[in-house]
Each structure stands twice: as structure tokens, then as C-alpha cells.
């Protein structure tokens, strides 16, 4: 491991001034350092910043960047009003990791592309201009939407998919002041040269995440995840869906896909097509076709497009049935029975 300087920031201003790699729960960064993928000159420990609060504000919810994933998933306001977010968090990692991982760290986690994580492979994310070993390689888990020849990696977060569906906004402070970014566009799509610009500029720090009032979608929202093993695995494909149902018809809809692109993939055209339609499998199937419109394989992963279409239908169907009063141990798993969420 490369030697590095260590700084502990007690305030957001100190973290901004330090301009180093931010260390919160360490569940991603430390792993990358151990395998030689990340080699920062300075680590800025922000684990003691007073940003762990979760509170209802102006009809919505504010989640501090240092809030632990486990605390978010079991917070009464999240369970009552943003249940798809709770399901997404409980679908990710293991209980031990959820107890350490933070909201800000979850947003900023790096891709789990095996070529990115192998220093012997060419990767434009690690070294711009070096090429992409994933092209022509093993691509079962790689992108089918928004990819380029420069990068076909996917963003691994479950939480971010639900946040994108809920119109979440990321609040950021940095040398240039305070700014905000919509979750659905926070992570850049790759360009021809590689991963595209970094979501944060040097010195910037995520302070909190804001979710607006979900309105009539509070109790008709689900997150569904298909993975290679039943627990603590990254999504092959996933979907977060929420519906506002009135007299059997859809007044508003939200749908985002995970595991298909370098960012959570918000399906706005599909959402618009659902408005005014009955909450039926036929309506959801038409919306799912629109959700994967423009998808193309990035190698031997054409099946992922069909899987994404089916996951979208399932998430919408489960949302129409209503959020269960009690989340299952493996919430909304495609392997769960009808009585297990």
C-alpha cells in the first residue's frame, strides 16, 4: 500500500480545506486501497462530522451524509413514507456492512467492475486513455444503457436507485460554496474517453440528501433486485417503483432501474406512459418496454435487457399491490414468496 497522509476533520470547513480522499465508513475506499486501485496521497477522516441526522423537513426528509445505512433503513419516517428506500438498503451488502456504511459513501462508491478492480487490466476509469479491458471481455454484469466504447461499467448502489426514483437531491459544499445535484444525474455517464467527469470537484463534500414529499406514492412503492446469490450481492438488474393510485388508475408513477448503466437509470418516458392507465400487468408491460428503449448489449449480456424489462414489471406490480406493513428479511427478492415481500 502506498504511504499516505492522514487528517481528521472535525468540521465540514476543515474537510473542504484538506482536499483529500474522504474516509467515512471505509467499506469501499479501504478495499480499493488494499488491492492497489486507489492510492490517495491524503486521507481525510470525516467520520466524526456532525452529519448523521435523519429528520423530516418541509414535507420531505433530510438524510445526513454520515447517517449509517442500517439507521436509514429502520428509521420510522423512511419506513412510513419512503419504503422503497428501506427495501433498497436492506437488499444491499450484509448487516455488518450496513452498520458501518454511510449515505454519502454509498452515493460515492466506485464501480464493482472486475476490470476496474484489477490493476493489471486496462481501465479508463483508473487511467484515462489506457483503454477498457471489459470491451470484449466478460460482460455479464456490465451496462446495457448509456455506455460507450470508453467504459461499460455500472454503478453498484441499491440505495441510489431508490433515491433517483424518489427525486432525491444531493447537497454539496465545497470551495465554491454550496450546490445541489439531482440524484438521477449526479453520476456522469461515460464519454468516448472513459468514465466522464468526477461527480465531485476537489474539496467538495456531500453534506446531506433531501427527499421531497412522496405524496400519494408513500404506501405503493417497492424495490426489487435480481442477484447472483440471495444475500449481500450486487444487482444484475434492479428496479425501484412507486405509484399514486386513484380509483384504480395511475395518477403518477416513478420508475428507476439499477445495474444497467453507470448511474441509476430514471425511466421518465415509461412514467409518463403510465399516467391515466389502469394498474394492470398490460400497462406495466408497455411501460417496461419503454424503460429499456435504446438498450443494447455491451458484449455477451443481451439477456440483461430482458431481465431489466421483467424486473420493471415486477416492481410496478408489487408497488400496485401496496407496500407490506413488515419488510421481509430479504425484501422484494425475486426469490421471495408472495407472503415474503
Closest CA to 134 of 112, 114, 111, 148: 114
Q: Note the pLDDT of residue 336.
A: 56
Cα–Cα–Cα angle for 14, 202, 129, rounded to 5 degrees: 155
Query: Phi and psi dihedrals of 111, rounded to 5?
Result: -60, 150
CB 254 within 8 A of CB 241: yes
Let me know: does 104 contact 24? Beta carbons within 8 Å.
Answer: yes
Which residue in this structure is represented by grid cell 465531485?
200
Inter-helix orientation angle 303-321/281-291, to 10°? 140
Name residues of the chain where pLDDT drops below 70. Answer: 231-232, 329-341
Query: What confidence score (pLDDT) does residue 335 get?
Result: 54
Here the cell at position 70 is 442500517
23 forms beta bridges with: 45
Cβ atoms of 92 and 102 within 8 Å: the answer is no
Q: Which of 123, 185, 121 is nearest to 151 (CA)?
A: 123
| pLDDT, position 330 | 64
Give pLDDT, residue 325. 85
pLDDT (0 to 100) of residue 2: 84
Mapped onto helix, strand or coil, the DSSP state of residue 177 is: strand
Write down the pLDDT at residue 340. 43
Amino acid at each position: 500500500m502506498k504511504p499516505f497522509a492522514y487528517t481528521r476533520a472535525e468540521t465540514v470547513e476543515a474537510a473542504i480545506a484538506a482536499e483529500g480522499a474522504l474516509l467515512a465508513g471505509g467499506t469501499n475506499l479501504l478495499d480499493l486501497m488494499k488491492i492497489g486501485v486507489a492510492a490517495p496521497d491524503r486521507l481525510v477522516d470525516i467520520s466524526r462530522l456532525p452529519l448523521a441526522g435523519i429528520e423530516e423537513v418541509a414535507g420531505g426528509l433530510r438524510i445526513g451524509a454520515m447517517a449509517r445505512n442500517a439507521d436509514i433503513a429502520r428509521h420510522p419516517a423512511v419506513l412510513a413514507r419512503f419504503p422503497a428506500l428501506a427495501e433498497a438498503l436492506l437488499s444491499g451488502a450484509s448487516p455488518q456492512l450496513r452498520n458501518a456504511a454511510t449515505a454519502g459513501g454509498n452515493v460515492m462508491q466506485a464501480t464493482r467492475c472486475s476490470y476496474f478492480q484489477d490493476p493489471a487490466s486496462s481501465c479508463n476509469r483508473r487511467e484515462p486513455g489506457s483503454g477498457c479491458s471489459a470491451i470484449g471481455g466478460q460482460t455479464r454484469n456490465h451496462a446495457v444503457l448509456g455506455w460507450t466504447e470508453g467504459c461499460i461499467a455500472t454503478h453498484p448502489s441499491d440505495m441510489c436507485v431508490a433515491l433517483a426514483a424518489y427525486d432525491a437531491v444531493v447537497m454539496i459544499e465545497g470551495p465554491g460554496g454550496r450546490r445541489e445535484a439531482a440524484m438521477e444525474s449526479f453520476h456522469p455517464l461515460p464519454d468516448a474517453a472513459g468514465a466522464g467527469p468526477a461527480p465531485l470537484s476537489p474539496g467538495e463534500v456531500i453534506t446531506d440528501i433531501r427527499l421531497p414529499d412522496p405524496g400519494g406514492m408513500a404506501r405503493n412503492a417497492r424495490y426489487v433486485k435480481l442477484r447472483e446469490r440471495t444475500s449481500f450481492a450486487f444487482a444484475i438488474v434492479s428496479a425501484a417503483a412507486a405509484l399514486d393510485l386513484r380509483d384504480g388508475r395511475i395518477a403518477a408513477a416513478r420508475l428507476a432501474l439499477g445495474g444497467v448503466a453507470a448511474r441509476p437509470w430514471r425511466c421518465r418516458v415509461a412514467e409518463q406512459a403510465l399516467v391515466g392507465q389502469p394498474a394492470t400487468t398490460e400497462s406495466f408491460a408497455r411501460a417496461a418496454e419503454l424503460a429499456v428503449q435504446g438498450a443494447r448489449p455491451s458484449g455477451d449480456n443481451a439477456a440483461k435487457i430482458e431481465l431489466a424489462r421483467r424486473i420493471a414489471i415486477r416492481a410496478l406490480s408489487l408497488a400496485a399491490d401496496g407496500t407490506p406493513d413488515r419488510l421481509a428479511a430479504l425484501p422484494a427478492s425475486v426469490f421471495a414468496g408472495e407472503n415474503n415481500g
